[in-house]
Structure 1
């Protein structure tokens, strides 16, 4: 069982004591409901990781824990085997004692696109919804956030985060195996809430926007990143059975339509800060993620289309205030 005592104490200190008392029960319920057959193996991988005190850490330019000289070549080899046992690694990259975890996504590129356009995270309470293995959570901590809480129901992602955290040491960053629907309703706690790569997976995107707004204190900032399509205010794509081979993609709005959705949900100061086509350099198969990736999901004759004949992935980043 992952120890969330420090998180509970941190939440209690900012007025969320009632929720802090529920977290361990919520986590246990989430673990019981998923009852993943590999969970015990993943937990053993994390437990068996050799503890080494890194001589330096860097969360400003990436997620870098230690340097090669901190460990022997033999120990680095064992650490690499343990980390590789948590394959596939999707968000990153990470550098751990000279081990380069070359993840499927160059998540650092997304961070570079948004970091200069959001409110400074200095001393803020931050929530990252659908955080995966917590790569962006670490970058948020590197931007001097007071505390970062990530939530993601994917157990492997949570265990990858725990592995990195064990190498890093104690830090004001936590990842819970929960979805946003399991957070207290209208908690209004966080100064900044990130939702990146989540909205198009929700059957009701409007409900998701309301859930995000309910997590924010009055005036707090939402950072929303999602798939979009070209078009006007009335353009929304509802794919058939699949989009880029993904089954769980529901609504892809145009940027103008998404702004209307946000306005209807009561957000203010809405700004479109970036639109970028996803490239096969940003999302690709690697040694650390050996399954099919974006190149396999696009039309082999026309990279502007998916294999289903739909517009290829394009992502927008929007900020707004509650």
Structure 2
């Protein structure tokens, strides 16, 4: 068992004790103990050893409301800056960001800040809310949720490299009421207690989208808000594309509904006040290879002669943001 991981989880348990989410303590500790004993990635212990080598710094500033920016180059010397950069590159690929740590720019594959800018004007203010981010990736949006004064931010994602990346950023920002748990939504008991549940970039990876949407609903209190961002296609209330073996080179893509069809799904499942607040085509500037994510990216997944289509011939990625409330 990693002592470092146990420390992370113990901090989470403490935050839950006197919160509206305290019922989570009935199942969470045993789940995480099981995870540590049986499900750890082969590289996990090595990643933890690298994390422990990150130097302690004293950032002069921490900015989370307009970006995720920690400190400046003036806070540390050049050697320390190179040391930090070298260690963080051991955790590549960095997909969701960007992050700025003492003027080290972690230039991630995705400009997740652009997505956040499209989402945040349309949601209920997060101040004093308990928030869950399902499929949180490296946690970029979690930090922005904290920057909106959420009282507690919890992210779940089974990808262990994302857990390590999150903890690397948290190392510099310091202890806050923000926690990453290596779980899937199917592991969650129905807490029915979160004020806001985010699911951004997950729905199309699920074989059973109705079950997934129901699982999201089961985490919300009555009146709580779902913020759903996903791939969509053009069409009416009956339009759903089921991709073949691959969509934009991804094997694990299942159902791509139209935004109108997705609204019907949500209404059938017991949501109200359903509204599409943004539809946006993903551009080659928003998703691309960088020195922090060096493998193929969006331009490699589109038809080079017609970038409005994927290389398989499907419509190029178009993403919608839908906001709804639990009845």
- TM-score by length of structure 1 reads 0.98
Q: Using the TM superposition, give the Cα deviation of residue 162 of structure 1 relative to its aligned residue in structure 2, in angstroms.
A: 0.5
Residue 303 of structure 1 aligns to a residue in which SS? strand
Seen in structure 2, the aligned counterparts of structure 1 residues 145 and 252 have a Cα distance that, compared at 3 Å, is: same
- Structure 2 residues not aligned, in runs of 5+: none
The answer to whether 1:151 aligns with 2:174 is: no
- Report the counterpart of residue 293 of structure 1 in structure 2: 297
Distance (whole Å) between structure 2 residues aligned to residue 222 and residue 317 of structure 1? 10
Residue 115 of structure 1 aligns to a residue in which SS? helix
Q: Using the TM superposition, give the Cα deviation of residue 69 of structure 1 relative to its aligned residue in structure 2, in angstroms.
A: 0.5
Distance (whole Å) between structure 2 residues aligned to residue 113 and residue 35 of structure 1? 35
- Report the counterpart of residue 259 of structure 1 in structure 2: 263
Q: Using the TM superposition, give the Cα deviation of residue 21 of structure 1 relative to its aligned residue in structure 2, in angstroms.
A: 5.1
**Alignment length, in residue pairs?**
321
- Structure 1 residues not aligned, in runs of 5+: none
Q: Using the TM superposition, give the Cα deviation of residue 38 of structure 1 relative to its aligned residue in structure 2, in angstroms.
A: 1.0
**Which sits farther off after the overlay, 59-68 or 17-26?**
17-26
Q: Does structure 2 conserve the Cα–Cα contact (< 8 Å) formed by 1:9 and 1:20?
A: no
- Report the counterpart of residue 122 of structure 1 in structure 2: 127
- Report the counterpart of residue 244 of structure 2 in structure 1: 240
Q: Using the TM superposition, give the Cα deviation of residue 12 of structure 1 relative to its aligned residue in structure 2, in angstroms.
A: 1.9
Q: Using the TM superposition, give the Cα deviation of residue 189 of structure 1 relative to its aligned residue in structure 2, in angstroms.
A: 1.0
**Which sits farther off after the overlay, 32-41 or 111-120?**
32-41
Residue 24 of structure 1 aligns to a residue in which SS? helix
The answer to whether 1:61 aligns with 2:66 is: yes
The answer to whether 1:311 aligns with 2:315 is: yes
Distance (whole Å) between structure 2 residues aligned to residue 253 and residue 32 of structure 1? 39
- Report the counterpart of residue 37 of structure 1 in structure 2: 42
The answer to whether 1:27 aligns with 2:32 is: yes
Distance (whole Å) between structure 2 residues aligned to residue 295 and residue 13 of structure 1? 48
The answer to whether 1:196 aligns with 2:200 is: yes
Distance (whole Å) between structure 1 residues aligned to residue 51 and residue 136 of structure 2? 19
- Report the counterpart of residue 16 of structure 2 in structure 1: 11
Seen in structure 2, the aligned counterparts of structure 1 residues 21 and 47 have a Cα distance that, compared at 3 Å, is: farther
Q: Using the TM superposition, give the Cα deviation of residue 18 of structure 1 relative to its aligned residue in structure 2, in angstroms.
A: 4.0
Q: Using the TM superposition, give the Cα deviation of residue 89 of structure 1 relative to its aligned residue in structure 2, in angstroms.
A: 0.3
Seen in structure 2, the aligned counterparts of structure 1 residues 240 and 32 have a Cα distance that, compared at 3 Å, is: farther
Distance (whole Å) between structure 2 residues aligned to residue 313 and residue 49 of structure 1? 37
Q: Using the TM superposition, give the Cα deviation of residue 44 of structure 1 relative to its aligned residue in structure 2, in angstroms.
A: 1.0
- Report the counterpart of residue 175 of structure 1 in structure 2: 180
**Which sits farther off after the overlay, 24-33 or 75-84?**
24-33
**Which sits farther off after the overlay, 17-26 or 291-300?**
17-26
Q: Does structure 2 conserve the Cα–Cα contact (< 8 Å) formed by 1:8 and 1:21?
A: no
After superposition, the C-alpha distances for 1:244-294 in whole angstroms (9 at most, x for unaligned) are: 000000000001100000000000000100000001100000000011000
After superposition, the C-alpha distances for 1:194-233 in whole angstroms (9 at most, x for unaligned) are: 0000000011000111101110000000000000000111
Query: Aligned to 1:269, which of 249, 270, 273?
Result: 273
The answer to whether 1:142 aligns with 2:147 is: yes
Q: Does structure 2 conserve the Cα–Cα contact (< 8 Å) formed by 1:275 and 1:317?
A: yes
Q: Using the TM superposition, give the Cα deviation of residue 149 of structure 1 relative to its aligned residue in structure 2, in angstroms.
A: 0.1
Distance (whole Å) between structure 1 residues aligned to residue 120 and residue 224 of structure 2? 16
Distance (whole Å) between structure 2 residues aligned to residue 30 and residue 15 of structure 1? 25
After superposition, the C-alpha distances for 1:109-164 in whole angstroms (9 at most, x for unaligned) are: 00000111100000000000000010000000000000100000000000000010
Q: Does structure 1 conserve the Cα–Cα contact (< 8 Å) formed by 2:21 and 2:194?
A: no
The answer to whether 1:92 aligns with 2:97 is: yes
